[in-house]
Amino acid sequence: MKLYTLARKINKKIKQRRREVAGRYLSPVRRLERFAVPQNERIVSMTFDDGPTNMPVNPVADPGLEGVSLTRALIGIMNDYDARGTFNVIGTTEHNYPDKMGSLHKPTWSGVRHDHYPMFGKDKYAGAENQKELVRELLKNGHEISNHGYRHVLFGRNNIVYGSREHFTNIHDVVSDLRQLHELMKNEFDYEMTMSRPPHYIDRIPDGFTSYDAYAV
């Protein structure tokens, strides 16, 4: 646990350094670090990863949400406040087998070699490939959808936290995965994604490229 805490501190320093140099170079892809929001307004930006999810809310704090899927619950709650969010969706993790279930409360809880959303063995309950109606509900209610990877495979290594996880080894495989989800959204829903977030925020690809290079292709 101490090693994990130290790694997080080091990673925080590295990200701070990247923010300091961000914007010095022209690029077709930008990391959004600073925002100019209207004065005298209380504004929050909310993002939701790894869906859409058709598994029920668990645990249930509001009896009215009993049996309601997580994504539909989020849509309903945000509608109550006239709010809109960004949903970083996946395609599906159903192809991330063979694998073994991970340990509860561990980073690899959903799978030793790969992620499985919403949980191991229940992959068809999440992702744009199998939950098309939920995607349509998100779009109908004015939410933004961004590309979180078709299979939610790591773009590169993270030996400290995800040492057992398989990952892409080159930018070509990363682009192919991103493009598969991009084309699914465009062909099935006539929606073209303009934003993206790498799985587990791992930006660096082993062959020397980064996620920003992949997004620019």
Q: The CATH number of 45-216 is which of 3.30.450, 3.20.20, 2.70.98, 2.60.120? A: 3.20.20
Domain spans in the chain, listed from the N-terminal domain onward: 45-216
pLDDT at 20: 64
Q: Among the ranges 10-19, 42-51, 57-66, 192-201, which has the highest mean pLDDT value?
A: 192-201
SS3 164: coil
What's the pLDDT score for residue 205?
97
The full DSSP string for 4-63 is: HHHHHHHHHHHHHHHHHHTTSS--SS-------PPTT------EEEEE-B-SBPSS-SSG
Rg for the chain (alpha carbons), in Å?
18
Strands (E), 42-179: 47-51, 86-89, 144-147
Can you give the pLDDT at residue 44? 83
Q: Using one digit for the tens of pLDDT, what is the confidence trace for 147-204? A: 999 999 999 999 989 999 999 999 999 999 999 999 999 999 999 999 999 999 999 9
pLDDT band for position 56 (cuts 50, 70, 90): very high
pLDDT (mean) for 113-125: 98
Give the pLDDT score at 62: 87
